[in-house]
């Protein structure tokens, strides 16, 4: 299959030499790496804000091909770029800031009006339209910056640390908006983040950038369970699962994996607030147990059949990566001591059970 993104470009930045060479079929792509490794500069090169040399292809668009003499101006690239500092016009009201993203020649007035209304609806901006930027909170400014990028009718969104400046509770409130943009507009995105959970929630694939080069690539689980990426991340790994809600009542919530085969209910703690059709939960790898046979007489509510795919050694433990019974591959990681792995004789290909308490699940959205 043809890759959606194809990057092979160089960007000399004084003493720092960025050479990003990678390709991906995923439309939701994450860039992850230490501070100063070249993530923001990569986004700016893709947006055309830094002059790069080489090849940048996104979907069917060739944005840069130095051999063919192609180097589109930023305005011709149909990219919505949301920088870390938002760059909103402080003395304009929200509506004027949103409309500032629109380019009259890019598409007809009706389509632009529709997109403005979609952005206002998805990001819940209607009550803010007449407010000025300095009257807004950090999370509201983030939504306006995202809305302005959407109003430009881009074919691709580039988000540079979309939640870096927000505290934990605001992050919780912005994430659903990003997911709605992904789900309702189906817009491809490249997201730069330091936060593995954000990338797991938003991206299909993650590229790790180190000293200006792409060094590792894979699904968020494949990348973040590798001890050599950042040792602390693999040991604190949290699985993200998307579940459909079957029943929500004051005692418990019943849910199931979206494509579980056979459907196997997952029991969660009650979820406060209105009823929902689906949720995303986080399960820390260290909260999961593995059993060779379904345990009986145990308080944990969830005993889920799975098969071991591989076992990875961490400095002080092992991550057992299992495949759940779903039609599309769904892996989750359980952290065990190496002595537990040896005593149970766990090996790839074995059929086992993942066991966890209802309260182990952390509710994301």
Ligand X SMILES: Nc1ncnc2c1ncn2[C@@H]1O[C@H](COP(=O)(O)OP(=O)(O)OP(=O)(O)O)[C@@H](O)[C@H]1O
Give contact residues for ligand X (rule: CB under 6 A). Answer: 13-14, 16, 33, 35-41
Q: Nearest to residue 331, comparing CAs of 222, 234, 226, 247?
A: 222
Residue 127 CB neighbours (<10 A): 10
Q: Please give the full DSSP string across 294-344, using - where no structure is assigned.
A: --SS-S--EEEEEEEEEEEE-SSSEEEEEEESBSS--EEEEEE-HHHHHHH
Q: How far is the CB of 158 from ligand X (least distance, A)?
A: 12
Q: Nearest to residue 9, comparing CAs of 45, 44, 43?
A: 45
Q: Of 16 and 89, which has the nearer Cβ to ligand X?
A: 16
Question: What are the backbone angles phi and psi of residue 227, rounded to the nearest 5°?
Answer: -60, -30
Q: Of 12 and 218, which has the nearer Cβ to ligand X?
A: 12
Q: How far is the CB of 224 from ligand X (least distance, A)?
A: 17
Q: Of 12 and 59, which has the nearer Cβ to ligand X?
A: 12
Contact 63, 51 (CB under 8 A): no
Strand order through the sheet with 61-65: 16-24, 5-13, 53-58, 61-65, 70-71
Both structure tokens of 193: 């983040």
Q: How far is the CB of 14 from ligand X (least distance, A)?
A: 4
Q: How far is the CB of 12 from ligand X (least distance, A)?
A: 9
Three-class SS of residue 123?
coil
Q: Of 46 and 341, which has the nearer Cβ to ligand X?
A: 46
Both structure tokens of 123: 């990001």
What gap in Å lies between CA 128 and CA 88, rounded to an integer? 14
Q: How far is the CB of 144 from ligand X (least distance, A)?
A: 21
Q: How far is the CB of 41 from ligand X (least distance, A)?
A: 3
Q: Nearest to residue 193, comparing CAs of 222, 156, 161?
A: 161
Q: Of 39 and 148, which has the nearer Cβ to ligand X?
A: 39
Q: Of 209 and 240, which has the nearer Cβ to ligand X?
A: 209
Q: Of 36 and 74, which has the nearer Cβ to ligand X?
A: 36
Q: What is the distance of C-alpha 153 from the center of its chain? A: 21
Both structure tokens of 94: 């929200």
Q: How far is the CB of 53 from ligand X (least distance, A)?
A: 16
């Amino acid at each position: 299959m043809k890759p959606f993104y194809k990057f092979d470009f160089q960007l000399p930045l004084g003493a720092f030499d960025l050479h990003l060479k990678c390709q991906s079929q995923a439309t939701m792509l994450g860039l992850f790496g230490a501070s100063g490794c070249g993530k923001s500069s990569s986004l700016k090169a893709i947006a055309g804000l830094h002059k790069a040399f080489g090849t940048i292809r996104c979907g069917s668009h060739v944005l840069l091909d130095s051999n063919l003499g192609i180097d589109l101006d930023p305005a011709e690239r149909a990219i919505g770029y949301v920088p870390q500092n938002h760059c909103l016009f402080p003395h304009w009201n929200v509506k004027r800031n949103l409309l500032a993203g629109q380019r009259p020649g890019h598409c007809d007035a009706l389509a632009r009006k529709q997109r403005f209304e979609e952005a206002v609806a998805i990001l819940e901006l209607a009550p803010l339209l007449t407010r000025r930027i300095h009257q807004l909170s950090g999370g509201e400014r983030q939504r306006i910056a995202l809305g302005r990028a959407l109003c430009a009718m881009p074919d691709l969104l580039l988000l540079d640390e979309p939640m870096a400046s927000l505290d934990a509770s605001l992050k919780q409130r912005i994430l659903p908006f990003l997911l709605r943009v992904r789900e309702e507009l189906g817009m491809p995105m490249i997201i730069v983040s330091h936060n593995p959970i954000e990338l797991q929630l938003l991206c299909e694939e993650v590229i790790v950038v180190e000293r200006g080069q792409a060094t590792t690539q894979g699904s968020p689980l494949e990348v973040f369970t590798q001890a050599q990426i950042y040792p602390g991340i693999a040991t604190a790994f949290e699985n993200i699962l998307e579940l459909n809600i079957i029943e929500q009542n004051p005692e418990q919530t019943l849910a199931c994996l979206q494509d579980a085969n056979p459907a196997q209910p997952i029991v969660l703690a009650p979820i406060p607030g209105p009823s929902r059709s689906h949720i995303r939960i986080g399960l820390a790898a260290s909260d999961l147990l593995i059993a060779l046979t379904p345990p009986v007489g145990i308080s944990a509510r969830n005993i889920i059949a799975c098969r071991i795919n591989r076992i990875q050694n961490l400095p002080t433990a092992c991550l057992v990566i299992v495949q759940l019974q779903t039609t599309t591959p769904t892996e989750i990681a359980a952290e065990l001591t190496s002595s537990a792995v040896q005593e149970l004789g766990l090996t790839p290909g074995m059929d086992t059970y993942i066991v966890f308490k209802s309260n182990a699940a952390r509710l994301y959205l």
